[in-house]
Amino acid sequence: MSEHNDAVLLYHNPETTAHELLVDSQRRTDVAVQQRVMSLMEENPGVTMKLVTRSELLRCSEMARQLSEQGEKGLRLEDIKKEVSSRQGDVLNYFMVAKEIGASDIHGTTLPGLTRIEMRVHGELETISELAEEDGNAQAATIILSMCDVTEPQFYAGRKQDGRVAAKFLRKVGLFGARYSHTPTADGLHFVMRVIPDDGDVVPTLEKLGFLPEQIRLIKRILRLPEGLIILSGPTGAGKSTTLRACSDLYLERTRYKKRLLTVEDPPEGRIRGAIQTPILCDKADEAEVRRAWERALSSALRLDPDAILPGELRDLISILAGIFAAQTGHLVLTTLHANSAFSIPERMITMGANAGLVADAQLLIGLISQRLVQVLCPHCRVPWSVKKDQITPEEREYLEKYCSVEGICQPENLHFRNEAGCPACRKAVVIGGKQVATVGQGVSGRSVVAEVVRPDTMLFRLLIQEGKEAAKAYWLSELGGITRRIHLLHKLNAGLVDPLDADLIVPLDEDEVTLSVSDPVTSSSDINTALIERLALVIAASVREGLKQGVEDAIKAGITAGIAALKEVA
């Protein structure tokens, strides 16, 4: 079993039975090689990295290939042909259930003697059914061999595989798309299907997604700019693709559908009316081929006369540079990047190899959005603070009273909490084969965005590069009217929409205190300015009085010198 991109090989050593990460010593400084090494080390904790010669790398790669062919014969469609129809029916049934209960993903995990099927509903995994181990393996094989139109011709349980479920199956259950991925585990196989519902041309508005009016106004202003990069960040499952669709819809509507928006997605995650949506078609098992397919698609996109481009993701340095080039040549570019905050987006681009001077350009990087999704409470059974405050621990109560008390934004008495038992309005029965097998959604009615939206200017980038994220964020709050994720969350908490203890696991309530030198970004900027002015006035007045004893000129010099010294000390 091996994974490599010419210079990197994840190798199972047959002599030691250990996994080793072999790296071509001549290419160890390449940015792409370093990124691949970091990715594989994250996916395979505990793996040992070894620098080897090119010839040694090729020898081990060939040995791994031979061992794979000898020990793992791929399963072909004809091997399971008799079972295909019924297995396809089982998979389609899971798709139908996922759509009915609003699940975003279907998980299957095979263990010795058992397969557990789970669905992610409102961000939480719920066990839906349990099958025999062989049934889980058979379902995974059926999906790869008979239900995907972009995948390999054989099923390998012993290594990672990806695929895209064919449209002819999705239409039967009212889905727009579904992508499949599996990986071997210590006990068997783990497979996941991302479910993309077909909502037609109906794209959720930014209001419906949960953005604040001030944030929506700022996003609309950014979308009026003729060119530049707009980048969304957030973890997998944070709703980035949906927000991109909403922004795309706003752009096309503003231009009265007289501009061309072209997307490059893997796969397209919902229809965008008026856009040309293109998928990535390649062998997903070959990382190098996937990278080349993205490069070809992005290069081709610029030759198709677009006004705006939506690459689904900035995956590596090549795609970052392609996005920058598109923005520099007069295109609006909307895309995503894995980063943990809006201010980490430029930093991430730089660590991936982009030039800092190129990235830190307010005419190039015109919009930074970081978002998370928090659960929305069922309005019919949520529990008020007056009831819950005596049921939580003293530590939890003290924590909420401290961080949910912001004048004019949030007060603890307005908080509400999740009813774990739920009620008839929020509980959803899961029915398979005419039998209820589970109940999901207790106490929750959906999910909502918590975000920070930044339109950078030159000073923000200067502070970011020279002094770091804290200085840039403080400037954004004091001079650009920034709203942090925590403040956005507090608005929802004060409205009783979100459970503060659950939301704290997504957006920590003390996040601003940790990332800034001040605890309250709403009032801190004015307090700092007032304190600075008062201090300067006192220092300068005292110096002037002392200087007057020597003469007017000396008094002026003393005042200026003292003022400069005080400014340096505060800074």
Is residue 500 one of the residues assigned to a domain?
A: no
Is residue 3 one of the residues assigned to a domain?
A: no
Is residue 502 one of the residues assigned to a domain?
A: no
Q: For the segment 440-466, what is each residue's pLDDT rounded down to a tens digit?
A: 999 999 999 999 999 999 999 999 999
The DSSP secondary structure of 221-261, one letter per residue, reads HHHTSSSEEEEEE--TTSSHHHHHHHHHHHHHHHTTT-S-E
Looking at the structure, tell me whether residues 66 and 116 fall in a common domain.
Answer: no
Looking at the structure, tell me whether residues 211 and 343 fall in a common domain.
Answer: yes
Kindly indicate the confidence band of residue 71, based on its pLDDT and cuts at 50, 70 and 90.
very low
Looking at the structure, tell me whether residues 141 and 168 fall in a common domain.
Answer: yes
* pLDDT above 60: residue 479: yes
Is residue 516 one of the residues assigned to a domain?
A: no
Other Cβ atoms less than 10 A from the Cβ of 400: the count is 22
Looking at the structure, tell me whether residues 295 and 435 fall in a common domain.
Answer: no
Residue (of 36, 29, 6, 8) closest to 20 by Cα position: 8
**Residue 487 burial (C-beta neighbours within 10 Å; 0-12, 13-18, 19+):** buried
Looking at the structure, tell me whether residues 287 and 421 fall in a common domain.
Answer: no
Looking at the structure, tell me whether residues 278 and 400 fall in a common domain.
Answer: no
Is residue 254 one of the residues assigned to a domain?
A: yes
Looking at the structure, tell me whether residues 89 and 144 fall in a common domain.
Answer: yes
pTM check: above 0.95: no
Q: How far apart are CA 331 and CA 324, in angstroms?
A: 10
Among 265-274, 361-370, 558-567, the least confident range: 558-567
Is residue 365 one of the residues assigned to a domain?
A: yes
Q: How far apart are CA 162 and CA 183, in angstroms?
A: 9
Looking at the structure, tell me whether residues 104 and 143 fall in a common domain.
Answer: yes
Q: For the segment 226-275, what is each residue's pLDDT rounded down to a tens digit?
A: 999 999 999 988 999 999 999 999 999 999 999 999 999 887 888 899 99
Listed residues 71, 98, 116: the one ending a domain: 71
Is residue 531 one of the residues assigned to a domain?
A: yes
Share of the chain above pLDDT 90, in %: 60
Looking at the structure, tell me whether residues 150 and 243 fall in a common domain.
Answer: no
Among 35-39, 145-149, 207-211, 345-349, the least confident range: 35-39
Higher pLDDT, 506 or 570: 506
Among 57-61, 146-150, 249-253, 375-379, the least confident range: 57-61
Looking at the structure, tell me whether residues 370 and 313 fall in a common domain.
Answer: yes
Other Cβ atoms less than 10 A from the Cβ of 494: the count is 20
Q: In this structure, what CATH number is given to the domain that contains residue 81? A: 3.30.450.90
Q: Which domain holds residue 91?
A: 77-197
Kindly indicate the confidence band of residue 16, based on its pLDDT and cuts at 50, 70 and 90.
low
Q: For the segment 107-121, what is each residue's pLDDT rounded down to a tens digit?
A: 999 999 999 999 999
Identify the three-state secondary structure at position 541: helix
Tokens of 426: 């929020």
Looking at the structure, tell me whether residues 261 and 363 fall in a common domain.
Answer: yes
Q: How far apart are CA 62 and CA 135, in angstroms?
A: 33
Higher pLDDT, 382 or 89: 382
Looking at the structure, tell me whether residues 436 and 371 fall in a common domain.
Answer: no
State the total domains in the chain.
Answer: 5
Q: In this structure, what CATH number is given to the domain that contains residue 291? A: 3.40.50.300
The DSSP secondary structure of 266-326, one letter per residue, reads SS--S--TTEEEEE--S-TT-HHHHHHHHHHHHHHHHTT--SEEEES---SHHHHHHHHHH
Instruction: Determine if the peptide bond prior to 235 is cis (ω within 30°).
Output: no
